[in-house]
Homo-oligomer: A and B are copies of this chain.
Amino acid sequence: MHAIGVDIGGTKIAAGVVDDDGTILAQTRRDTDPDDAASIDAAIADVYRELSASYEVRQVGLAAAGFVASDRARVLFAPNIAWREYPLRDNVAALIGDEDLRIVVENDANAAGWAEFRFGVGRDVQDMVMLTLGTGLGGAIVVDGRLTRGAWGVAAEIGHMRVVPGGHYCGCGHEGCWEQYVSGSALVRDARAAAMTQPERAAGLVALAGGSAQHIDGPLVTRAAQAGDALAVELLAEVGRWVGEGCASVSAVLDPEVFVIGGGVSAAGDLVVAPARKAFDAQLSGRGHRPEAGIVVAAMGNDAGMVGAADLARV
């Protein structure tokens, strides 16, 4: 059966018709204005009409970057889109006007994690945690084959688990959140700091950035590390260490079979994952008396949110 998945970002939406094995049969995009929520509703209805013209579709899953209520209908809050207690499902449903169409809203990181669980590296396990290392640190949790949404729909905001009391301030207003140590932003911040504290070692990175530490970004650090730059390797290893140490804490809570590492930073592959595994081994409580979770790189690409949202609309 076909379902449509829509991944709603800050400035564009991407939608696709997805088969029940996760294959994307057709897709389309629209630019959107994050400050104009009604225009996003309209754009979603529009892509639905375009795609449903050629495919019979009975479910639509909307992946939203925000807190999604447990009714899978409303967005409680979004940091980058003008949604506050916003009835996204009902608004879209009213525009489409088809009472038989099932529409659900899911958190975007949950949708991406679900895609990984159903069709990616998590397809053979029942308990999985996904970490998406992008600007922040998103998460998705699957317990016993079911997506964990929490009492109010906001489970798996795992980047806000505190790992350092009194640590770095987070965008959420609190100190020491995991995402301040494990994200593309953390990587870039650390690289720029190293340019100040270790100028000789950072010379290569700064040169790649055209001479200005302020132009260092995450992909640049990854490229430099892949080319053997010692500082870049160390910076990625430091992110990896925090991944592994945090995963040890998550394992104490959830005992998953696998951690899936996605997002932009995961492009660094073993430069992040190998130090993550080492730190995880060193920190896992009860090691030797329990099997150890794997830590692997995500297999689904940028379409994971769309695919996962479509699939969740069937559940």
Binding site for B on A (CB under 8 A): 67, 76-77, 125-127, 139, 141, 143-144, 146, 148-170, 172-177, 181, 189, 193-194, 196-199, 245, 248-250, 252-257, 281-283, 285-291, 293
Complex Cα–Cα for A291 and B153 (A): 10
A234 to chain B, nearest CB (A): 10
Identify which of B127, B162, B166 contacts A150 (C-beta below 8 A).
B127
Instruction: From known contacts A189-B169, A245-B162, A291-B152, infer whether A285 and B157 are also in contact, taking CB-CB under 8 Å.
Output: yes
Copies of this chain, tallied across the complex? 4
Instruction: Assess the B152–A290 pair: CB atoms within 8 A.
Output: yes
Interface-centre pick from A139, A148, A170, A198 (highest chain B CB count, 10 A)? A148
How far is A311 from B177 in the complex, measured between Cα atoms in Å? 38
Bound-state Cα–Cα, A126 to B71, Å: 14
B285 and A150 within 8 A (CB): no
13 contacts between A and B (CB under 8 A): A125-B151, A143-B150, A148-B254, A154-B286, A157-B286, A162-B245, A163-B166, A164-B165, A164-B166, A168-B169, A168-B175, A170-B285, A197-B282
Write the chain B residue with the least CB distance to A150: B255
With A160-B286, A161-B249 already in contact, the answer to whether A172 and B197 are too (CB < 8 A) is yes
CB A181 to nearest CB in B, in angstroms, measures: 7
A76 touches B289 (CB 8 A): yes
Whether A164 lies near B164 (C-beta < 8 A) is: yes
| CB closest chain-B residue, reference A248 | B162
**A177 surroundings in chain B (CB, below 8 A):** 285
